[in-house]
């Protein structure tokens, strides 16, 4: 109970700041198919926000819009106080260096070793030599919990958990302020997923990151998220702490959080709090 109280107090303090990501009146559509309509969302500095929703609600579309990979049809996205639509190519490039992104399945380059994958953004954006970039890449590997002997392995030689950690190390390469994670624990066994969750929590606290997290993993939501945003009806219908979200009067929300898996995740989090 103390952990939940402390988490709420910290979150209230964060929400007194200006949002680090602000989405207003967003509309995304493909042809005649409207994915989002009049969507609003805020993300505050230092928080971990989990984004959930049923299939087809546009979780990845929203993520791509915030990253600037897909211009919205209508609406406005502001990150670090800058309107993305108003930025020229150079300004957008500078903004993107403040992001770290872990895509689904890791998206590592199969022809490069782990350390070469991590070094690539450093060589491209920081002007470091290959040797310097790879030295720094090894530090990022350690941050992500990868053993030193993984440096010269190729993605095909890695387990699913190691691929996730290698992709995370690459996402951390440029010391981002916002970390975007797309289904980071998908495909991991329960122990691996739990370890990854704790790693994200540790990195957020140690590095002062803001984390935008797309996930279906209920354990992740209960363990590390300060707030949960639910995509439904083409918009964010609620964006609040889990104890508020799980009671929200919406059929999908109730099925998701009050179903067997949701109740199991609630009980697991309660046990964790009792043991801390």
Q: What is the pLDDT of residues 70-112, one digit of tens each?
A: 899 999 999 999 999 898 988 888 898 999 999 877 688 889 9
**Can you give the pLDDT at residue 125?**
83
Report the alpha-carbon distance of residue 165 to residue 203 in Å, rounded: 12
Cβ contacts of 254 within 8 Å, gap of 6 or more: 248
pLDDT bin (cut points 50, 70, 90) of residue 233 is very high
**Can you give the pLDDT at residue 260?**
62
Q: Give the CATH number for residue 25.
A: 3.40.50.300
**Can you give the pLDDT at residue 275?**
61
Burial class (CB in 10 A: 0-12, 13-18, 19+), 127: exposed
Report the alpha-carbon distance of residue 58 to residue 232 in Å, rounded: 9
Domain limit, last residue, from 156, 174, 192: 174
Name the residue with higher pLDDT: 225 or 260.
225
Cβ-contact 21, 79 below 8 angstroms:
yes
Tens-digit pLDDT profile for residues 119-165:
988 888 887 889 999 999 999 999 999 999 999 999 999 888 889 99
Residues 162 and 114 in one domain: yes
Cβ contacts of 243 within 8 Å, gap of 6 or more: 4
Domain limit, last residue, from 118, 149, 174: 174
For the record, the structure tokens of 223 come out as 């363990």
pTM of this prediction exceeds 0.95: no
Residues 55 and 91 in one domain: yes
For the record, the structure tokens of 114 come out as 């782990």
Residues 93 and 118 in one domain: no
Q: What is the tally of structural domains in the chain?
A: 2
Q: Does any domain span residue 260?
A: no
DSSP state for residue 182 in the 8-state scheme: E
**Can you give the pLDDT at residue 6?**
66
Quick one: which H or E segment has residue 194? Answer: helix 190-207
Which domain, by its residues, includes 189?
2-98+176-247
Residues 156 and 208 in one domain: no
Residues 149 and 222 in one domain: no
Q: Does any domain span residue 273?
A: no
Residues 62 and 153 in one domain: no
Residues 91 and 181 in one domain: yes
Domain limit, last residue, from 174, 190, 209: 174
Q: Does any domain span residue 192?
A: yes
Q: Does any domain span residue 264?
A: no
Q: Does any domain span residue 275?
A: no
Q: Does any domain span residue 24?
A: yes
- Considering the chain, what is the average pLDDT of its residues? 88
**Can you give the pLDDT at residue 128?**
84
Give percent of the chain with pLDDT exceeding 70: 88
**Can you give the pLDDT at residue 23?**
97
Residues 12 and 61 in one domain: yes
Residues 167 and 185 in one domain: no
Residues 69 and 189 in one domain: yes
Q: Does any domain span residue 26?
A: yes
Report the alpha-carbon distance of residue 199 to residue 57 in Å, rounded: 28
Q: Does any domain span residue 30?
A: yes
Residues 127 and 163 in one domain: yes
User: First-to-last CA distance in the chain?
Assistant: 10
Residues 11 and 48 in one domain: yes
């Amino acid at each position: 109970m103390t952990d939940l109280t402390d988490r709420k107090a910290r979150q209230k303090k964060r929400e007194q700041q200006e949002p680090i990501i602000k989405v207003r009146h967003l509309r995304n559509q493909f042809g005649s198919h409207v994915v989002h309509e009049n969507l609003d969302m805020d993300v505050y500095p230092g928080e971990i926000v989990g984004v959930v929703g049923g299939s087809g609600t546009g979780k990845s579309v929203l993520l791509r819009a915030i990253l600037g990979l897909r211009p919205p049809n209508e609406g406005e996205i502001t990150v670090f106080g800058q309107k993305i639509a108003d930025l020229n190519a150079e300004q957008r490039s500078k903004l993107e260096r403040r992001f770290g992104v872990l895509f689904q399945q890791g998206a590592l380059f199969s022809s490069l070793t782990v350390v070469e994958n991590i070094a690539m953004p450093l060589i491209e954006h920081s002007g470091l030599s290959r040797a310097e970039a790879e030295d720094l890449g090894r530090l990022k590997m350690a941050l992500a919990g990868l053993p030193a002997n993984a440096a010269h392995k190729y993605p095909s030689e890695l387990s699913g958990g190691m691929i996730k950690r290698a992709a995370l190390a690459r996402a951390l390469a440029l010391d981002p302020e916002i970390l975007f994670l797309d289904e980071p624990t998908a495909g991991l066994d329960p122990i691996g997923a739990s370890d990854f969750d704790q790693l994200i929590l540790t990195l957020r606290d140690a590095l002062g990151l803001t984390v935008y997290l797309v996930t279906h993993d209920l354990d992740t939501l209960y363990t590390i998220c300060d707030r949960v945003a639910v995509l439904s009806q083409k918009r964010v219908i609620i964006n609040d702490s889990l104890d508020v979200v799980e009671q929200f009067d919406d059929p999908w929300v109730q099925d998701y959080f009050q179903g067997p898996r949701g109740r199991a995740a609630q009980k697991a989090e309660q046990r964790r709090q009792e043991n801390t």
